[in-house]
Amino acid sequence: MKMPGKKTICKIKKTMGHRTLKGAVCKANCFLDAQEHNSILKDGVLSSVLNTKKSQGAIEFIILLGAVLFFFTLFISVVYSRVSEQNREKELVIVKNLALSVQDEIALASKSSNGYSRQFDIPEKISSQDYYISIDDSRIYIKTGRNAVSYPVENATGNIIKGVNLIKRENDWVYIN
């Protein structure tokens, strides 16, 4: 216990979570024990330091939250672009397969004898999208919003329609619909 009226120098042992207080020296008349001394420092001198630590923690949290949101957004955009690319490739495969199947139907009809007749279906939509299909200048054309293909075909007369098509060979010519 300290004697009243005697000037002493006391060292603050408790750091209160702040590195600069470690071993700090109080050069005042000290009649208080360590707990009371720390209480006075907390209420007076250290209140601004403690508020600064709280503010620093809030800023660090906001920065961390911003970084997490940034990387999450980046991850979602990469996943979305890959899914979009896969959907586009899937649609292209479907368009190519449709064009090749029509090409095969026309080739089969042109190699058959007169009197050949067959029905084949053309879907109304490709991947729930509308599309354009036609035969011009001995080529089959299929075009969607994102894809287009063209393949050569044997000479054929007529138009391909969405739905049921009739292909036949008469007088050495291939007729569609």
CA 54 – CA 41 distance, rounded (Å):
17
Every domain of the chain and the residues it spans: 10-57, 84-176
What pLDDT is stored for residue 4 in this prediction?
A: 55
Nearest to 140 by CA among 105, 172, 93, 110: 105
Q: How would you classify the pairing of strands 173-176 and 163-170?
A: antiparallel
The DSSP symbol for 34 reads H
Task: For the domain made up of 84-176, give the CATH fold.
Answer: Outer Surface Protein A; domain 3 (3.90.930)
Work out the number of other CB atoms within 10 angstroms of the CB of residue 47: 11
What pLDDT is stored for residue 5 in this prediction?
A: 52
- If residue 6 lies in a helix (H) or strand (E), which one and from where to where? none
CA 14 – CA 37 distance, rounded (Å):
10
CA-CA distances (angstroms) from residue 147 to 60, 118, 130, 161? Answer: 48, 29, 12, 19
Helix (H, G, I), strand (E, B) or coil at 14: coil
What pLDDT is stored for residue 68 in this prediction?
A: 97
Task: Show pLDDT as tens, one digit a residue, over the chain (177 residues).
Answer: 455 554 444 444 443 433 344 455 555 445 555 555 555 555 555 455 556 677 788 899 999 999 999 999 999 999 999 999 999 999 999 999 999 999 999 999 999 999 999 999 999 998 888 999 999 888 999 999 888 999 999 888 889 999 999 999 998 889 998
What pLDDT is stored for residue 41 in this prediction?
A: 52
CA 11 – CA 137 distance, rounded (Å):
99
What pLDDT is stored for residue 163 in this prediction?
A: 93
CA 172 – CA 71 distance, rounded (Å):
65
What pLDDT is stored for residue 155 in this prediction?
A: 83
| pTM of the model as a whole | 0.60
CA 79 – CA 56 distance, rounded (Å):
35
